[in-house]
Homo-oligomer: A and B are copies of this chain.
């Protein structure tokens, strides 16, 4: 098997402008990959290839006329199947929604189409973007999980069946699968991308993107936000109309969160090598031993997983109670358990949890005086064997709880399988995070552990 290869649309823009390449040819390459690999990988719940070809022809014509609608005009994109599309069902990984067609595009999908992007298909999600996995397999090794819950978007972008994918993250659902599938994953600041028309209601949930490169990820996100904004009441992703330039961070905080206790020695070695490369490039790396702010934050972050679980449970009481009313046999045990946890909580319990979350968010904000961003692993290891679990979200969940932007960069491989390094930035300073990430990527290059 050839090594899976993500497909950058941003890098093809020059060729589209010169006529050396066209969006239709670009799409046909994606479709070739789909023809070859989708049978094994099962990244999609629905495909619209004829409509995609027609849209790519229209995009090609616009490029030929020198009038593309945007820098993602013609970009082949997949949509996580909790996000509504007018022309394909939205099934949420649940038999309760089998064949369910809302008939309208989500805010983000509509914005993508306005920008000329090509919606190729719907991608597999775990049940309601939570735990029960779909059938998708990792393009690097079919015996392994692609991660979740944005499983199909990660797998399809990982092997170039798509150039970009929409995902969502409330625990680890973008950062983890992106790490496992060797792509860039971007979870924006809270409310950064409009969730309208997405079945994604929780207060720390975010819509985000998976793509081949930082440039692709930024472009996809900013083109959506210019047309659809962020969540109502939020400023939406703030930054320039093309990806921010690399900028050397004055310091990075290495977060020694609970995940390190379960990280494999190989993953830890890849992280150490990353940090060493950054030090050699002149970046100060601070830890809890250098900074009281980092130490205070890390102590609090031990609460991240239970706090997230309880907040998500209360916030899932509805609609899960309506799903149980409809047909409890179509729900996983995990969803029924979550509802039970919610029903054992009071609104006062919930309030105490979100107050505590705000306190931890303030501890994180205090680190900004000492480090331009934080760095850690994206997952404790490469994708585990088996598709009955989507892996451990222990490294990804911190940024979800904190409501801050996170990026995973495909900087390392272990035995040929990808592992991401994660950078975490400050609320509504997503552009600065991209600048730091771009510098880190240049400084670290690629790390290969046997």
Contacts and interface: CB of A to CB of B under 8 A. Distances in A.
Interface string A216-245: 000000000111111011111010000000
Contact of A201 (B103, B196, B236, B238): B196
A351 B110 contact: no
A234 B353 CA distance: 11
Contact of A322 (B110, B229, B238, B325): B110
Contacts of A289: none
Contact of A86 (B86, B238, B325, B350): B325
B232 A351 contact: no
Contact of A196 (B204, B225, B319): B319
Contacts of A194: 318
A55 to B, nearest CB: 15
A326 interface: yes
A202 interface: yes
Given A86-B325, A201-B196, A347-B236, A317 B229 contact: yes
A322 B335 CA distance: 31
Interface string A188-221: 0000001011000111100000000000000000
Contacts of A319: 104, 107, 196-197
Nearest to A203: B233
Contacts of A110: 318, 321-322, 325
A315 interface: yes
B235 A314 contact: no
A354 interface: yes
Copies of this chain, complex-wide, total 2
Contacts of A197: 318-319, 322
A357 to B, nearest CB: 9
What bracket does the count of chain A residues touching chain B fall in? 35 or more
Contact of A347 (B229, B315, B317, B350): B229
A364 B105 CA distance: 38
A134 B395 CA distance: 52
Tell me which of A235, A326, A347 has the highest count of chain B C-beta atoms within 10 A of its own C-beta.
A347
A326 B229 contact: no
B229 A314 contact: yes
A194 B223 CA distance: 31
A404 to B, nearest CB: 15
B232 A203 contact: yes
Nearest to A322: B104
15 contacts: A103-B326, A104-B323, A105-B322, A110-B318, A110-B321, A114-B321, A194-B318, A196-B318, A197-B322, A203-B232, A203-B233, A204-B233, A227-B317, A230-B347, A235-B354
